[in-house]
Chains A and B, each alone.
Chain A
Amino acid sequence: KAGVTQTPRYLIKTRGQQVTLSCSPISGHRSVSWYQQTPGQGLQFLFEYFSETQRNKGNFPGRFSGRQFSNSRSEMNVSTLELGDSALYLCASSPLKTYGYTFGSGTRLTVV
Chain B
Amino acid sequence: AQSVAQPEDQVNVAEGNPLTVKCTYSVSGNPYLFWYVQYPNRGLQFLLKYITGDNLVKGSYGFEAEFNKSQTSFHLKKPSALVSDSALYFCAVSARDDKIIFGKGTRLHILP
B-contacting residues of A (Cβ < 8 Å)?
4, 33, 35, 41-43, 45, 48, 56, 58, 90, 92, 97-98, 100-106
| Chain A residues within an 8 Å CB radius of B102 | 35, 42-43, 45
User: Judging by beta carbons under 8 Å apart, are B44 and A98 in contact?
Assistant: no
From B32, B44, B90, A97 is in contact (CB under 8 Å) with B32
The A-contacting residues of B in range 79-112, CB under 8 angstroms, are 90, 94, 98-105
Smallest Cβ-Cβ distance to B47: which chain A residue: A100
A97 proximity list for chain B (CB < 8 A):
32, 94, 100
Can you list 19 A-B contacts (CB < 8 A)?
A: A35-B102, A41-B104, A42-B90, A42-B102, A42-B103, A43-B44, A45-B99, A45-B100, A45-B102, A48-B99, A92-B43, A97-B100, A98-B32, A100-B34, A101-B46, A103-B43, A103-B45, A105-B42, A106-B43
Query: Would you call A33 and B100 a contact (CB within 8 A)?
Result: yes
The answer on a CB contact under 8 Å between B43 and A56 is no
**Nearest 3 pairs between A and B by C-beta?**
A103-B43, A42-B104, A43-B102
Other-chain residue from A41, A45, A90 in contact with B44 (beta carbon distance below 8 A): A90
Tell me the bound Cα distance from A103 to B92 in angstroms.
Answer: 14
Interface size on B, residues (CB 8 A): 21
Residue of B nearest to A94 (CB): B100
Residues of A within 8 A of B101 (CB): 43, 45
Bound: A56/B94 CA distance, A: 12
Q: State A35–B34 Cα separation when bound (angstroms).
A: 16
